[in-house]
């Protein structure tokens, strides 16, 4: 580290220009350019569907894949020819890749022994990291006896142990069940922020990306589509593909005039210039306000075709002017009810 915080750095920490990576003759990444950490973000997520090349990108940054073209710079230094272990990057993979048959301490201390730290210093660092990842006293445990979540915590501790300049996490939660994923996503984010280590995390799960990252880079077919903060991304996805990948289920046309967007589902106030727009709706973007007789001049009418009582409240499927869509309801509604709906301006995505 050069002592400069991410907020004061004048250039991006990681700069990738025109990167291409191929397996055999098959090009997976072609002309990818991307800058990480220039806007003061510490944790950046690479979010994209399975097979789009996220892992390949991360491996190329780590030095585990050789690019066929392009430049990867870290802190201004071209990494071409810099060996994996000389990059000082920590890497955590989906399955942790711990050294089986060995103790937790031996795994966490691995990179420190390579760097010829003294035994005493290694032992202190291992203990410190086990506290950080919530596994105090686990030094002597064999890694073969750990649960999936514990193993990933140990893998994180091992990656952080030598004070890496950059942490690369490749789907670190993918092998865990839902509840544990949510819990660990928060924990990992807290741990890397406390350690102050710039982190790139690869995931195909947008909730996980939003939980962990300040900035999200959406990747598709080996290229970056859009880089934005989570809230910018939900509100202003670049195109319809991105909107749908991020959970938009219905796209409606809107005509904006004087700050009011007019759609077949009703009107909403949107602070946009006059003209035609496409709006992306998620279930939370459409709300049942009451029975059809309810007064709401901006709304429209729909018929309930399905009701699911979810923990957060009723989720309904309704027949509308644009076909069946999902919506949320405050109070109980029943199948067959004729209801009034409204669009929720802050939960509608403006596409493009
Ligand atoms: P993601 O992480 O987004 O799921 P990957 O980077 O793992 O995507 O893979 C991108 C593409 O490259 C996929 O089509 C995958 O099958 C292919 N691929 C990945 N690793 C290899 C490899 N070692 N050899 C050949 N093809 C690979």
Atom 26, ligand 1: which residue's CA is nearest?
A: 23
Is the domain of 319 the same as that of 217? no
Residue 293 token pair: 């007789």
How far apart are the CA of 278 and the centre of ligand 1, in A? 33
Nearest by Cα to 51 from 170, 221, 206: 221
Is the domain of 295 the same as that of 209? no
3-state secondary structure of 281: strand
Domain count along the chain: 2
Is the domain of 182 the same as that of 255? no
User: What pLDDT is attached to residue 3?
Assistant: 42
Boundary residue ending a domain (189, 217, 235):
235
Is the domain of 288 the same as that of 229? no
State the DSSP string of 295-326: --TT-EEEEEEEEEEETTEEEEEEEETTEEEE
Residue 196 falls within a domain, yes or no? yes
Question: Phi/psi of residue 11, each to 5°?
Answer: -120, 165
How far apart are the CA of 136 and the centre of ligand 1, in A? 37
- The label of the residue with tokens 């491996």 reads 59
- Nearest atom in ligand 1 to 219's CA: 3
Is the domain of 148 the same as that of 295? no
Atom 15, ligand 1: which residue's CA is nearest?
A: 51
165 CB neighbour count, 10 Å cutoff: 17
Is the domain of 109 the same as that of 201? yes
User: Which strands form 215-220's sheet, in the order they lie side by side?
Assistant: 89-92, 166-170, 199-203, 43-47, 215-220, 223-228
User: What pLDDT is attached to residue 9?
Assistant: 54
User: What pLDDT is attached to residue 38?
Assistant: 76
User: What pLDDT is attached to residue 144?
Assistant: 96
Boundary residue ending a domain (214, 235, 256):
235
Is the domain of 227 the same as that of 257? no
Boundary residue ending a domain (235, 265, 292):
235
Is the domain of 67 the same as that of 144? yes
Report how far residue 319's alpha carbon sits from residue 50's, in angstroms, rounded to the nearest whole number: 32
Q: Ligand 1 pocket test: which of 52, 56, 57, 219 has the largest number of ligand atoms within 8 Å of its C-beta? A: 56
Residue 1 falls within a domain, yes or no? no
How far apart are the CA of 222 and the centre of ligand 1, in A? 10
Is the domain of 219 the same as that of 253? no
Report how far residue 209's alpha carbon sits from residue 13's, in angstroms, rounded to the nearest whole number: 20
User: What pLDDT is attached to residue 8?
Assistant: 52
Residue 129 token pair: 């990291």
- The label of the residue with tokens 């300040």 reads 214
Is the domain of 165 the same as that of 280? no
User: What pLDDT is attached to residue 10?
Assistant: 60
Give me the domain span that covers residue 271: 244-351
Is the domain of 26 the same as that of 174? yes
Are the C-beta atoms of 139 and 130 separated by less than 8 Å?
yes
Atom 7, ligand 1: which residue's CA is nearest?
A: 55
How far apart are the CA of 308 and the centre of ligand 1, in A? 38
User: What pLDDT is attached to residue 95?
Assistant: 82
Report how far residue 322's alpha carbon sits from residue 265's, in angstroms, rounded to the nearest whole number: 8
- Nearest atom in ligand 1 to 53's CA: 6
How far apart are the CA of 50 and the centre of ligand 1, in A? 9
How far apart are the CA of 84 and the centre of ligand 1, in A? 20
The CATH number of the domain holding residue 259 is 2.40.50.140
User: What pLDDT is attached to residue 1?
Assistant: 38
Q: What is the pLDDT of residues 225-266, one digit of tens each?
A: 999 999 999 999 999 999 999 999 999 999 999 999 999 999
Query: What angle do helix axes 148-160 and 104-114 make, rounded to 10 degrees?
Result: 20
Report how far residue 231's alpha carbon sits from residue 249's, in angstroms, rounded to the nearest whole number: 18
| Residue 279: strand pairing partners | 252, 350
pLDDT in tens, the chain (352 residues): 344 444 455 678 999 999 999 999 899 999 999 999 877 789 999 999 999 999 999 999 999 999 999 999 999 999 999 999 999 999 999 887 899 999 999 999 999 999 999 999 999 999 999 999 999 999 999 999 999 999 999 999 999 999 999 999 999 998 888 889 999 999 999 999 999 999 999 999 999 999 999 999 999 999 999 999 999 999 999 999 999 999 999 999 999 999 999 999 999 999 999 999 999 999 999 999 999 988 877 889 999 999 999 888 899 999 999 999 999 998 789 999 999 999 999 999 999 9
How far apart are the CA of 67 and the centre of ligand 1, in A? 14
Q: How many DSSP H helices and E strands does the chain contain? A: 8, 20
Residue 313 falls within a domain, yes or no? yes
Atom 5, ligand 1: which residue's CA is nearest?
A: 53
Pocket of ligand 1 (CB under 6 A): 23, 28, 48, 50-56
Residue 35 token pair: 């800058």
- Nearest atom in ligand 1 to 50's CA: 4
CA angle at residue 249 from 246 to 251, to 5 degrees?
Answer: 105
CA angle at residue 280 from 266 to 285, to 5 degrees?
Answer: 60
The CATH number of the domain holding residue 217 is 3.40.50.300
Is the domain of 155 the same as that of 10? yes
| Residue 196: strand pairing partners | none
């Amino acid at each position: 580290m050069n002592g400069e915080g991410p907020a004061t750095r004048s250039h991006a920490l990681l700069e990738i220009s025109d990167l291409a990576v191929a397996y055999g003759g098959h090009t997976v990444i072609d002309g990818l350019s991307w800058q990480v950490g220039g806007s003061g973000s510490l944790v950046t997520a690479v979010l994209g569907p399975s097979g789009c090349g996220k892992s390949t990108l991360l491996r190329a940054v780590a030095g585990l894949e050789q690019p066929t073209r392009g430049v990867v710079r870290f802190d201004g230094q071209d990494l071409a020819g810099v060996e994996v272990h000389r990059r000082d990057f920590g890497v955590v993979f989906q399955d942790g890749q711990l050294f089986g048959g060995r103790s937790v301490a031996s795994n966490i201390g691995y990179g420190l022994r390579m760097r010829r730290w003294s035994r005493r210093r290694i032992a202190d660092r291992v203990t410190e990291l086990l506290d950080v990842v919530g596994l105090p006293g686990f030094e002597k445990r064999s890694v073969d006896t750990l649960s999936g979540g514990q193993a990933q915590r140990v893998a994180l501790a091992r990656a952080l142990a030598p004070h890496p300049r950059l942490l690369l996490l490749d789907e670190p939660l993918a092998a865990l069940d839902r509840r544990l994923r949510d819990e660990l996503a928060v924990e990992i984010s807290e741990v890397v922020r406390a350690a102050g280590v710039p982190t790139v995390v690869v995931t195909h799960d947008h909730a996980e990306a939003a939980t962990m990252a300040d900035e999200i880079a959406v990747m598709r077919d080996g290229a970056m589509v859009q880089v934005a903060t989570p809230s910018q991304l939900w509100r202003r996805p670049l195109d319809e593909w991105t909107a749908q990948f991020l959970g938009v289920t219905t796209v409606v046309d809107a005509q904006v005039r004087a700050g009011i967007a007019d759609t077949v589902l009703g009107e909403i106030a949107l602070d946009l210039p006059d003209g035609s727009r496409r709006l992306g709706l998620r279930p939370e973007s459409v709300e049942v306000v009451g029975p059809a007789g309810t007064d709401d001049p901006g709304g429209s009418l729909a018929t309930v075709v399905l009701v699911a009582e979810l923990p957060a409240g009723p989720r309904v499927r309704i027949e509308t002017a644009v076909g069946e869509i999902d919506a949320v309801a405050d109070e109980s509604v029943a199948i067959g009810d004729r209801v009034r709906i409204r669009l929720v301006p802050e939960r509608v995505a403006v596409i493009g």
